[in-house]
Amino acid sequence: MKSYKLDPEEAQILNDIEAGKYKTVPHIKEEIKKARIYAKNTLNKVKNINIRLSIRDLEKLKARSVETGLPYQTLAAAVLRQYIDRKISLTL
């Protein structure tokens, strides 16, 4: 096995892991998926836009964002992206 020289912070993290101080996150696959979405959104160049929503729609969007664990702006952008990519359809 290859040996690596760890800096003090890395050594402390390794010691903590070996001592059992960290626990597996419930629903790890979902958390990894969310982290990937966050990373993807962070790495993409973005352009700000203004959109007009009713207060009721904005409050519902914010409530759904709490359920998903995403900021409401990120959730709105994700829904728009899925629509643009034809992953979801619009019913009027």
Give pLDDT tens digits for 48-90. Answer: 899 999 999 999 999 999 999 999 999 999 999 999 999 999 9
In a domain, 91, yes or no: no
In a domain, 18, yes or no: yes
Q: Tell whether the model's pLDDT for residue 30 goes beyond 80.
A: yes
| Domain span holding position 49 | 9-84
Residue 52, pLDDT score? 96
Model's pTM, two decimal places? 0.50
| Domain count across the chain | 1
Contact residues for 49 (Cβ-Cβ < 8 A; gap 6+): none
In a domain, 1, yes or no: no
In a domain, 2, yes or no: no
Encoded tokens for 59 = 């409050």
Helix axes 55-68, 72-84, angle to 10 degrees: 90
In a domain, 90, yes or no: no
**CA torsion angle 72 73 74 76 (round to 10):** 80
DSSP-assigned letter for residue 45: -
In a domain, 76, yes or no: yes
CA dist., res. 26 & res. 40, Å (int): 22
Q: Tell whether the model's pLDDT for residue 44 goes beyond 80.
A: no
Residue 43, pLDDT score? 75
In a domain, 92, yes or no: no
